[in-house]
Amino acid sequence: MRLSRSLTFLATAAVGGLLVSASPASAATWEENPLEIAYAALGDSYSSGVGAGSYDPGSGACKRSESAYPSLWAQANGASDFQFAACSGATTEDVLKNQLAALSENTDLVSIGIGGNDAGAIDAVAACFAGTHEQCEEVVKKSEEYVTDALPKQLKKVYDEIGERAPGADIVAVGYPYLFTGDGPGPESATGQRMSPENQRLVNAATGLLNKVIQETAEDEGHYFADVQKAFDGHASNSQEPWIHRPTLPPEQSFHPNSQGQRLGYLPSFSAVVDDIRNGEEDEDNYGPDMTLSKMPAKVEIGGDWTTLKLRVENNSDKVLGRWAPGLVYGAQFPDGGEPIEPECDKSEVEFREGQGAWRKSEINAGYFNCAAEPGGYGITIQPGESVDYTFRVKFNEGTPAGDWWIYGLGASHTDGNALSVTEDQFFKTVARAGDPTTAPTTPPMTPPTTVPTDKPDVVAPPVSADPTPGATPPATAKPTAAPASPGKNDSLASTGSSGWKLPLMVGLGLFAGGGALIWAVRRKL
């Protein structure tokens, strides 16, 4: 299921109890505790990382770089499956013929940077570098005509085929940076040639048109666009701090982003779009009530007495919340660099009551390394402006692992999928009682991340058309990535107005109603 469409409300006639199953990512930001994301990167040399160095020897002429933004993003976000198919010299036809094998019905996220070679962008750069202003105008005009008249159809074919191969994936089209400042002498070649400011502006205008067409076509098809132009502002090839290679040796990296351009330009631009998808643009439609959970004690004894929590629900919207039901989700945190702790859900107990009413025993269900306390067939109506106070009590019996835990409150309406709320997550420790030899599990230390090189471009060679081997596409490189890291401090969901991990990070909170019961199911997909 696409991340942006994950907060769906589904009604069904199923009979049974409430099952709450949440990802451990509910207790941490995505970066600190990554989801299992299957990511595929398609496109041309700007996506494969030509110019960034550190090429995968197995990628051959495609020159897929470990310093390219797709590799950096997959590594930083712990993608469970990374298919790197982008290739130097690729056109839209090359993507259709040679790169789609990287996709499957399990693919969650696709980046696609394509169109520049179709438009003859590098040829235009070469002509405008060495030719007159009139010659530059002629080549640029021809390129712009293709971009306007023919490229949208080609891009649509690519996006449609990606959608067919990966029907559940979010697709992010990635643009191109301006190559020149447009207001000073161009970068110098080995023969002393420089592009005039007038020709620089012509090339930049063509790049702007190319990005506009890519963005409009992608968004018309219901996809996303990552604009890199702002990130590269002040870092053109003829700037004081260039992130784009000047004419260089080897010649194919001329006018391509260096490793800084990939790391500081492309990566944050792409990441920002994925974060927007992840956080869920549809959260703006959520009018779940404000919920606050009282403070969890810093330490809870295993085998000790009940720990009491107060949950207050305030319906500040103008909507009637039908058959509202609250619950608790809790679990053991990921140790640094180690495996998650099995929380042993059958060793815990939870009860709740509305106001001063009778205690109701919650059913404890095991999720993905977490526990969820569900209220069975309970559900009430909360009118606009009305508040409801609940009391929960939690007990961790013998056999519960000692260590670091997280907990938060979660609630949803039986009748409206836009009425969803969670509280801020809290952290606590389960500890053995005095004299009990139980100890927390130990894990190896986390391996520090690999340092990304920060190379500087050279200025040694005349302009040469990049991507010298169009269409050459060795098999996509599949790279497993590291295990999730430990969670840290998090923010609350939209119900509190903050912008932390939010409901979409649980990715796919579906509310199933029927037979006097609820099912909260969480799908761990983008």
Is 260:454 a contact under the CB 8 Å cutoff? yes
Q: Is 80 a catalytic residue?
A: no
Determine the Cα–Cα distance for residues 215 and 110; give it in Å rounded to an integer: 15
Determine the Cα–Cα distance for residues 46 and 90; give it in Å rounded to an integer: 10
In the structure encoding, which two tokens stand for residue 200, read together? Answer: 């620089």
Output phi, psi for 425, to 5 deg.
Answer: -80, 150
In the structure encoding, which two tokens stand for residue 256, read together? Answer: 């391509």
**Catalytic residue (choose from 256, 348, 492, 495):** 256
Is 159:171 a contact under the CB 8 Å cutoff? yes
Between 133-149 and 151-165, two packed helices, what is the crossing angle to 10 degrees? 50
Helices vs. strands in the chain: H and E counts, helices first = 10, 23
Q: Which H or E run contains 503?
A: helix 502-506
Q: Is 256 a catalytic residue?
A: yes
Q: In whole angstroms, what separates CA 113 from the centre of its chain?
A: 17
Nearby residues of 352 by Cβ (< 8 Å), 6 or more positions away? 311, 326, 359, 360, 362, 373, 375, 390, 391, 392, 393
Is 503:146 a contact under the CB 8 Å cutoff? no
Burial of 485 (0-12, 13-18, 19+ CB in 10 A): buried
**Catalytic residue (choose from 6, 21, 45, 254):** 45
User: Helix (H, G, I), strand (E, B), or coil: what is residue 22?
Assistant: coil
Determine the Cα–Cα distance for residues 103 and 117; give it in Å rounded to an integer: 22
Between 121-130 and 133-149, two packed helices, what is the crossing angle to 10 degrees? 170
**Active-site amino acid positions:** 45, 256
